[in-house]
Structure 1
Amino acid sequence: MNAAERALEAYLVASARLGDRRALSQLVRLRGPRLFAHAARLLGEREAARDVVQEAWVEILRGLHGLRDDAAFLPWALRIVSRRVAREITRRQRGRQLADEVAAEMDPVTAEAGPAGVDAAQVRAAIATLPREQAATVALFYLEDLGVAEVATALDVPVGTVKTRLMHARRKLYAQLKGMDDE
């Protein structure tokens, strides 16, 4: 995310907090796709992700007055979505942990274009084979371009956990992509 996009986001958050409905609408259009992509990655189901994100927006709007740093909106909102996803999974399958639920296949949320599209598709397919926690961590760090601290905030885990997940995911991805390259 570039500086101009962060500044726009901070402005929209501040304006929405003051009751500007147009700014709120723009904020939803600006960040809604990222929140949906995050929920879809975690759940593996697009329709359920839509419902979770819709519920999360209600919580986000209610909590907007408590957000102290307007520039931290995206990680904060992603954390709310993550918690909503966790509640949805718990509701669906009591007693099962998130780590036990590995997606067989994850729909790419963004379209691939250009000559690197094939490589990007292979990387996304490899990410989809990771355990959900690692896939979400990798996606937020590399695909959403969040920093380690922002990923930790979004997933509501310690920074060290994010670093560990990235380390293990990188090893698995390297081995898998190296195997594809050899074929």
Structure 2
Amino acid sequence: MNETSLVVAAQAGDRRALDHLVAAYLPLVYTIVRRALSDRADVDDVVQETMLRALRELRALRAPESFRPWLATIATRQISTHIHRRQADARRTVPLDEVTDLPDADPESRALTNVELSGHRRQAVHASQWLDPDDQRLLSLWWLETAGQLTRTELAAALGTSLAHAGVRVQRMRNQLELSRSLVAALEAHPRCVGLTAAVEDWDGVPSPLWRKRITRHVRSCPLCIRATVAVPAAALVGGAELTTARWSAPAASGRPVTAATASARAPARLGPASLESINAAGMVITTADDLGVLERVDANADEPARGRATFEVVRGLADPSCVSFRSRDGRYLRHSSWRLRLSQDEGTELFRGHATFGVGVGSVQGSVSLESFNCRGAFLRHRDRKLWVEPSDGSPGFRADASFRLRAALAR
């Protein structure tokens, strides 16, 4: 029985269909709420409120085929109600950073928090708490869209807006999330900027629009905080010349500093059409599937569309001409967003230019290069499970190999 038939049967009073409907869509509701809220007890309460309300209002649903976005709309409204209640109580709430220090927190809660807030997930959660309530709800829907659990049409329906307006709202939210990540990175820097420490002396630790504005103003004007949040190029790539000079001294994925001496030892890398081959997955090159960066086996015998997707124009970096950007044949650029590599139209923003710019460094083997994000210092393009990500280097040989590529002759002309 398909989704629509299941909804119709449940509306008619079929108890078994209702049970199947709840079992099928409870994970979706839980994911939406979990992405928007960090407190485990709050999540359970909001999920329960959402499902009870959906069951009460199911008979009034006039378009059974729209059950999924209808349910998502109810979930986002319940989240909104809960957030407004929580904000009224904000000063009595323990900041997220302190949750693992609570002496009476149960071991399971502490373990769950430590696991879920590790690495990028922890920073993303911290950053999301600086978003406005509307953006927090949108973020939970957008994460489901990027995971393939919601379509853009369903997301727009859940927001009660048009596709075009939904796209605008998503882009604005993503820009705010990236700004919030920069804010979090500056606050978490070790050692923290003395000026920032003085600026937040009276802050109670609870994210708010006022403090977001104050902290962001400081971060944008402070060279030390900027260095904590923005990547530095790894080498120069000027004109068609080989990489024989370096303007950066930041370590590349190989862990070695990029200098004129080490740069001259690597294989020539030139502006112009090229394909990028993984050094530890022979024959696998960077290409895209549904606009997401992946590794696939593409060679001269592949059909023209496949070779075209695996060919990029290496151009001067959009954010820094000493770096590089990769332009596809249709004019879009490879950029990272939510740590995934993807093809996107140039949005004309500083954020986009940084995400589409990579510093070129020494790879793990002679003749290979590493590609460091301009906006995320220490984060490199690497493959994992044949998907392409931008992630901070852990310094291991495995990571260095995953983050090293050869610039080879273009597969398509």
Per the normalisation by structure 1, the TM-score is 0.69
Match of 1:24 among 18, 33, 45: 18
2:41 maps to what in 1? 47
CA–CA distance in 1 between the matches of 2:43 and 2:56? 20
* 1:142-153 → structure 2 map (5 Å cutoff): 142-153=146-157
Partners of 1:72 and 1:135 lie apart in 2 by 21
Q: 1-side partners of 2:53 and 2:158: how far apart?
A: 15
SS of the residue 1:181 aligns to: strand
Identify the match of residue 136 of structure 1 among 140, 144, 152: 140
* Conservation of the 8 A alpha-carbon contact between 1:127 and 1:138: no
Deviates more, 1:159-168 or 1:71-80: 159-168
User: Does residue 1:77 correspond to 2:71, yes or no?
Assistant: yes
Query: What's the counterpart of residue 61 of structure 1?
Result: 55
Alignment gaps of 5+ in structure 2: 91-95, 98-117, 179-334, 340-372, 382-392, 394-413
Residue 181 of structure 1 pairs with residue 371 of structure 2: no
Secondary structure of the residue aligned to 1:93 is: helix
- How many Å apart are 1:125 and its aligned residue? 6.0
Q: Which amino acid aligns with 1:181?
A: F
Q: How many residues align?
A: 156
Is the partner of 1:44 in helix, strand or coil?
A: coil
1:148 and 1:138 map into 2 onto residues whose CA distance is: 9
- 1:175 and 1:39 mapped to 2: Cα distance? 22
* 1:144 positional shift: 4.1
Distance 1:176 1:143, change over 3 A: closer
Question: Does the Cα contact within 8 Å between 1:79 and 1:155 map onto a contact in 2?
Answer: yes
Change (3 A) 1:165 1:88: same
Amino acid at match of 1:70: P
Q: Tell whether the 8 Å contact from 2:50 to 2:75 is kept in structure 1 after alignment.
A: yes
On the 8 A contact 2:79/2:137 being kept in 1, the answer is no
Matched position secondary structure for 1:24? helix
Structure 1 distance, partners of 2:139, 2:22, is 25
Q: What is the CA distance between 1:81 and its match in structure 2? A: 0.8
Percent identity (aligned): 28
Q: Equivalent residues in 2 for 1:152-167 (5 A)?
A: 152-167=156-171
| 1:38 and 2:32 correspond | yes
Structure with the largest fraction of helix: 1
How large is the RMSD of aligned CA atoms in angstroms?
Answer: 3.3
Q: CA deviation at 1:176?
A: 7.0
Q: 1:86 aligns with which of 63, 80, 90?
A: 80
- Checking the alignment, whether the CA contact within 8 Å between 1:126 and 1:176 is kept in structure 2 is no
Deviations 1:139-158 (A, max 9, x none): 13211432223112223455
Distance across 1 between alignment mates of 2:380 and 2:39: 30
- Choose 1 or 2 for highest CA Rg: 2
TM-score, structure 2 as length reference: 0.33
Deviation, structure 1 residue 83: 0.5
Q: Structure 1 residues 90, 38: closer, same or farther in 2, change over 3 A?
A: same
User: In terms of mean alpha carbon deviation, does 48-57 or 169-178 score higher?
Assistant: 169-178
What is the SS of the residue equivalent to 1:174?
strand
Shift, 1:134, TM fit:
5.3
DSSP-derived class of the 2:66 partner: helix
Kindly provide the CA deviation profile for residues 16-62 of structure 1, in whole angstroms up to 9, marking residues without a partner as x. 10111111111111000110110111112232111111111121112
Unaligned runs of 5+ in 1: 1-6, 97-102, 105-120
CA shift in 2, pair 1:15/1:133, >3 Å: closer
Relative contact order, CA 8 A, sep 6+: which one is greater? 1
Q: Cα 1:158–1:127, aligned 2, differ >3 Å: closer, same or farther? A: farther
- Summarize deviations over 1:64-101 as a string: whole Å, max 9, x none: 112122121111001101101111111122398xxxxx
Task: Report Cα offsets for 1:107-148 as digits up to 9, x if no partner.
Answer: xxxxxxxxxxxxxx9775675445425532421321143222
The one-letter code matched in structure 1 to 2:380 is D
More strand by share: 2
Q: 1:46 to 1:156 in 2, by over 3 A?
A: farther
Cα distance in 2 for partners of 1:134, 1:68 equals 25
